[in-house]
């Protein structure tokens, strides 16, 4: 019908329902009318609900800045109003059908109420929390390694265990030959030779199957494994990509330096704001846990953990569709 907006049909639908609508259905609980601003001109009437210019202005301001830019266009604004009308119309019809009593709806409502309670309680707790300078200093000392990390290098190894001078000499010769082959293959753009030889030549069972990769190690870790001279060799005299044959206690090792990470040093002034935020969150969560524990204690709530192993998980059963309880701080 020319000039007629789609939402007009929705209004007529609700109006024609008469006493069968949300307000007149004697079998259903009274429809919870939304709180709307009564001022301004009436733009739409959906049964007992009136949407005024003041109410719709309020809802418009609640939209994202990006959407508000789009709604400057009159046609887009009309479609937005039609959608608000459509939403209220369908909500009233859902209520008339008693869907508010659906267990899944009740579970979702419970989840939303709990989420709101958590947010309100956490906001209230945040206002009363205090993080002192002593708290921040103590936290920095406890987490020093989190903010201060030594230089690390990534290594791969082919190791031959040897104790006597003769065994070490033979092992060195074998690993030097392996080094020469690796270098020759690299010139031919064959870059997997080191890993292949590690699998066949290395005697270290923990690393050989991974191509000899040792991941990233700091200087103290390298020195603990192979001694200070080798740590100095690899950190100070070896560039990324270079190979070194070195004698360690009870072994000869062919190393390849495959990576390097600079050390990080961050003093307290650099991380004070980050630490303060972490401490506020930790104190807030602890206070909320106390709040929940107090509620459970006051209500005599108990959990029989001995019964939990008796619960069954049937992977073939259809999903019930009941939402899970929200995690602390809104997490998954």
128 pLDDT more than 50? yes
Question: Taking the chain, what is the end-to-end CA distance rounded to the nearest angstrom?
Answer: 49
Beta strands in 118-249 (DSSP E): 148-149, 152-161, 213-218, 243-248
Verify that 198 and 234 share a domain, yes or no: yes
Dist. CA 59–CA 54, nearest whole Å:
9
Total domains present in the chain:
3
Domain boundary residue among 34, 65, 99?
99
Which pLDDT tens digit goes with each residue over 80-101?
Answer: 999 999 999 999 999 999 999 9
**Residue 200 contacts by C-beta under 8 Å, 6 or more apart in sequence?**
none
Which pLDDT tens digit goes with each residue over 244-255?
Answer: 999 999 999 999
Which pLDDT tens digit goes with each residue over 142-173?
Answer: 999 999 999 999 999 999 999 999 999 999 99
Residues spanned by the domain of 168 = 151-262
Dist. CA 285–CA 290, nearest whole Å:
9
- Any domain includes 202: yes
Mean residue pLDDT of the chain comes to 88
Please return the burial class of 44, using the count of CB atoms within 10 Å of its CB with bins 0-12, 13-18 and 19+. Answer: buried
Dist. CA 258–CA 244, nearest whole Å:
12
Verify that 275 and 180 share a domain, yes or no: no
Which pLDDT tens digit goes with each residue over 287-299?
Answer: 999 999 999 999 9
Which pLDDT tens digit goes with each residue over 15-44?
Answer: 334 444 444 444 557 899 999 999 999 999
- Any domain includes 305: no
Verify that 163 and 202 share a domain, yes or no: yes
Verify that 91 and 106 share a domain, yes or no: no
Mean pLDDT, rounded, for 196-203: 96
pLDDT at 315: 83
Q: In the beta sheet, which residues pair with residue 153?
A: 217, 260
Mean pLDDT, rounded, for 309-316: 86
- Any domain includes 127: yes
The alpha carbon of residue 75 and the mean position of all alpha carbons in its chain are separated, in whole angstroms, by 39
Domain boundary residue among 99, 134, 160?
99
Verify that 163 and 241 share a domain, yes or no: yes
**Residue 70 contacts by C-beta under 8 Å, 6 or more apart in sequence?**
76
Structure tokens at 273: 């704001």
């Amino acid at each position: 019908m020319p000039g007629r907006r789609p939402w007009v049909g929705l209004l007529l639908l609700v109006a024609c329902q008469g006493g069968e609508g949300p307000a007149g259905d004697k079998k259903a609980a009274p429809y919870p009318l939304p709180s709307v601003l009564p001022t301004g001109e009436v733009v739409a009437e959906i049964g007992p609900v009136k949407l005024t210019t003041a109410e719709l202005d309020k809802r418009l301001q609640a939209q994202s800045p990006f959407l508000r830019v789009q709604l400057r266009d009159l046609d887009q604004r009309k479609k937005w109003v039609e959608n608000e009308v459509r939403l209220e119309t369908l909500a009233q019809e859902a209520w008339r059908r008693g869907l508010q009593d659906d267990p899944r709806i009740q579970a979702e409502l419970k989840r939303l109420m709990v989420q709101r309670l958590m947010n309100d309680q956490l906001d209230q707790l945040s206002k009363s929390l205090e993080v002192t300078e002593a708290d921040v200093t103590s936290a920095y000392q406890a987490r020093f390694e989190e903010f201060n990390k030594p230089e690390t290098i990534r290594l791969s190894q082919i190791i031959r265990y040897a104790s006597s001078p003769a065994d070490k000499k033979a092992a060195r010769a074998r690993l030097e030959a392996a080094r020469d082959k690796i270098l020759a293959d690299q010139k031919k753009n064959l870059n997997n030779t080191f890993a292949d030889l590690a699998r066949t030549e290395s005697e270290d069972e923990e690393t050989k199957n991974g191509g000899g990769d040792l991941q990233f190690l700091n200087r103290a870790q390298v020195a603990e494994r192979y001694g200070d001279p080798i740590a100095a060799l690899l950190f100070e005299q070896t560039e990324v990509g270079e190979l070194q044959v070195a004698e360690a206690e009870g072994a000869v090792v062919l190393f390849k330096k495959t990576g390097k990470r600079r050390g990080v040093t961050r003093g307290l002034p650099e991380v004070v704001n980050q630490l303060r935020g972490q401490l506020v969150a930790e104190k807030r969560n602890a206070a909320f846990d106390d709040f929940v524990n107090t509620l459970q204690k006051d209500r005599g709530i108990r959990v029989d953990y001995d019964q939990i192993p008796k619960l069954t998980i049937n992977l073939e059963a259809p999903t019930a569709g009941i939402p899970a309880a929200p995690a602390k701080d809104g997490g998954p």
